[in-house]
Amino acid sequence: MTTPANEPQGLAPQYRAFKRMLDERGILFSFSGYLSEGILYSLGETLRQKMTLDDTNITTIKKVFSVFIEQAQNIIRYSAEKVLGNVGKNVELSSGMVTIGTENGRFFIVCANTILEEDVPRLKQRLELLQRMDKDEIKAYYKEQLREAPDENSRGATIGLIEIARRASEPIQFDFDRVDADKFFFCLKVSI
Amino acid sequence: MENLMIAATERSPEVDFDFATGRLSLKGESYPEDASAVFGPIFAALERFLGDAAGKDVQFDFDLIYFNSSSAKALMNMFQLLDAAAGRGIKVVVNWHYAADDETMQEFGEDFSEDLEHVTFNLVATEG
């Protein structure tokens, strides 16, 4: 970590400040780096255990867990930063970030990853459509998509995004930030 | 036809298809990396069984805790298959088990049942 003059010096003070910054934002946990299905499983289990120990009601646990899984699987599938290969078995490691926390009495889940510029318009269009829909419209759209054959190259993204929007307690928020000539940083925030 | 038994994994359900008695069940969680790899063989076995199940009574118990959206699509395909078979005269009963306080799983059961014309669909709430 770099340490500008106004930041604490020393290893422990630096990381303590970093941790405090996350804590102050209500973050329960945040994962940044290469995400795999194994990490998804372990983080998901820990998340459910933590919420269960905190006496969170089962419907809220289910919603948070579902949004977490769909978002993490979207990163694994669609991140533009991937390492693929065989290490005795086929592995697909995808770079991204998943953050879960609480604010104003609600859980929130933010996922972020880089995506190719050519994929931005379609993703933006899908998310804007979901943002404009009310609960009943989202539910009807989900049922309609359940019966549709999957889009080519999508590996199930449409229905995954609808599932995310369906579990949200307020409209989903998203944003894109240009990284370089052909990539954007994409993030999606869902409150439950 | 050979019965189909597949043990649950961390992210895929237990499959217990007893074709001789017509009792089928899916149990556990489903959020695999590749839903078609998990559900492809299950769907194929179900399709073969239903194609030759005239005069049989079929009971399918779903006891799922959580499934992701691509698994939901696979479940929908299975329900369409079951409904078509029931439409041909095979008696099909589906029991959709869910924890009584789990609104998400209850709603999924209601959603699936709305689309079925011929299958007898029972929502079965179980107390934790």
Q: Mean pLDDT throughout A138-164?
A: 79
User: Is the CB of B68 less than 8 angstroms away from the CB of A65?
Assistant: no
Residues of B in contact with A163 (CB under 8 A): 68-69, 72
Question: pLDDT digit string (tens) for B18-77?
Answer: 999 999 999 999 999 889 999 999 999 999 999 988 888 999 999 999 999 999 999 999
Q: Nearest 5 degrees, angle CA A36-CA A41-CA A44?
A: 120
B110–A contact, CB cutoff 8 A: no
Residue B49 Cα, gap to closest chain A Cα (Å): 22
Q: Mean pLDDT throughout B92-117?
A: 95
List phi, psi (to 5°) of B23: -100, 120
Q: Around Cβ A16, how many Cβ atoms within 10 Å?
A: 12
pLDDT at A183 over 60: yes
- Nearest C-alpha neighbor of B96 from the set B123, B118, B77, B72: B123
pLDDT band at A151 (very low <50, low <70, confident <90, very high): low
DSSP bridge partners of A109? A100, A190
Q: What pLDDT sits at residue B127?
A: 85
Average confidence score pLDDT of chain A = 91
- Nearest C-alpha neighbor of A78 from the set A184, A5, A178: A184
Question: pLDDT digit string (tens) for A105-146?
Answer: 999 999 999 999 999 999 999 999 999 999 999 999 999 998
Alpha-carbon distance of A52 to A54, in angstroms, equals: 5
User: Is the CB of A156 less than 8 angstroms away from the CB of B70?
Assistant: yes
A103 CB burial (10 A radius; 0-12, 13-18, 19+):
exposed
B11–A contact, CB cutoff 8 A: yes
Q: Considering CB atoms only, which of B73, B99, B101 is closest to A156?
A: B73
Question: pLDDT digit string (tens) for A2-38?
Answer: 556 676 789 999 999 999 999 999 999 999 999 988 8
Q: What pLDDT sits at residue B55?
A: 84
A146–B contact, CB cutoff 8 A: yes
Q: Does ipTM exceed 0.90? A: yes
B103 CB burial (10 A radius; 0-12, 13-18, 19+):
middle
User: Is the CB of A62 less than 8 angstroms away from the CB of B104?
Assistant: yes
A87 CB burial (10 A radius; 0-12, 13-18, 19+):
exposed
User: Is the CB of A160 less than 8 angstroms away from the CB of B69?
Assistant: yes
Q: What pLDDT sits at residue A30?
A: 94
Q: What pLDDT sits at residue A2?
A: 58
Alpha-carbon distance of A159 to A70, in angstroms, equals: 10
Q: What pLDDT sits at residue B20?
A: 93
Average confidence score pLDDT of chain B = 95
Rounded to two decimals, the pTM is 0.91
3-state SS track over A23-50: HHCCEEEEEEEEECHHHHHHHHHHHHHH
| Greater pLDDT, A156 or A17 | A17
For tokens 């995310």, name the residue. A164
For tokens 């009574």, name the residue. B57
Q: Mean pLDDT throughout A55-75?
A: 95
